[in-house]
Amino acid sequence: MTTDYDSTDITERYVALEGVGVMRDDQPILEKITWSAEQGQRWVVLGLNGSGKTTLARIVAGEIRPTTGAVWLLGCPRQGSDMRALRRRIAFVSDALTRTFRPGLDALGLVLTGRDAGLETCWYSYGQADNDKALSIMEQLRLPRSIATRSFGDCSQGERQRLLLARAMMSLPEAVVMDEPMAGLDIGAREAQVNALGTMAADAAIKLMVLVTHHLEEIPFGFTHALLMKSGRILDAGPLDAVLRDDSLSECYDVPVRPRRVGSRWALIAEG
């Protein structure tokens, strides 16, 4: 049940992919992806391992270019644009980033590096206003001030994930793209992260959010749209209530499932 997402006036959308394909080692990772998102939308991308979710996220974040097709980011065509300038307007959060930072870097310093997309505080100069801003963002993401002087390597997995989110917010991004920011978290840490993302979703200054995950339980409140992927293609896309159906999700996950809304959250129940 492949659905062709509405691509009317796709070049006028805030973010758009048209006929996008990605090849790696002569194998297709993405095929014929046409999808777009408008300002104010919060998208969750769902699918099995190997379905192409992370590759899609990296394209939307401007991290990689497709093998074929056209991409528009923040209303600008990727082809011919200054990608360094565009990437500064898009925050990309991935668990893979945790391995790029020195474990001894303190938590506050890690958040500060997000201002200039650096990896070390010694590369730049920071003033009291920067410190205050970083601490305020950490507080918004429910990180205690006492964590500021703790080494990044000594923080828990959940704290590290929220620190990466705080770092992303230091640059006041227009768009936030997150690749499995709840990976490896226990239930308590996962819920803290989901709540933090829900708070971000309510921030009108963030014009677009895209979240890659495996689990419906990780969809934060305030998210509006869903994109289902399977074997490098879009299976379905649109408003959450229209896409998160028994038939579409069962096809997406290759097992009979039934989605259930619980208040402002979702759950997925396996059938049989």
d(CA 139, CA 157): 18
List the alpha helices (DSSP H) in 186-234: 187-201
Tens-place pLDDT, residues 50-85 = 999 999 999 999 999 999 999 999 999 998 888 888
The fold of the 1-89+175-272 domain, in CATH, is Rossmann fold (3.40.50)
Structure tokens at 213: 């995950």
* Local structure of 117: helix, strand or coil: coil
pLDDT (average), residues 92-110: 88
**Radius of gyration of the CA atoms of the chain, in A:** 19
pLDDT higher than threshold 80 for residue 2: no
- Residue 204 is given by DSSP the state T
Domain ranges of the chain: 1-89+175-272, 101-172
Helix, strand, coil percent content, the chain, rounded in steps of 5: 35, 30, 35
Task: Identify the CA nearest to 112 among candidates 96, 136, 89, 143.
Answer: 136
Q: How many CB atoms lie within 10 A of CB 42?
A: 25
Structure tokens at 182: 């709840």
Structure tokens at 267: 């759950």
pTM exceeding 0.85? yes
Task: Identify the CA nearest to 163 among candidates 242, 248, 106.
Answer: 106
Tens-place pLDDT, residues 206-246 = 999 999 999 999 999 999 999 999 999 999 999 999 999 99
* Local structure of 91: helix, strand or coil: strand
The answer to whether 211 and 220 are in contact (CB under 8 A) is: yes
**Residue appearing with tokens 């080494």:** 151
Mean of per-residue pLDDT scores for the chain = 90
Output the pLDDT for position 82.
87
Residue type, 76: C
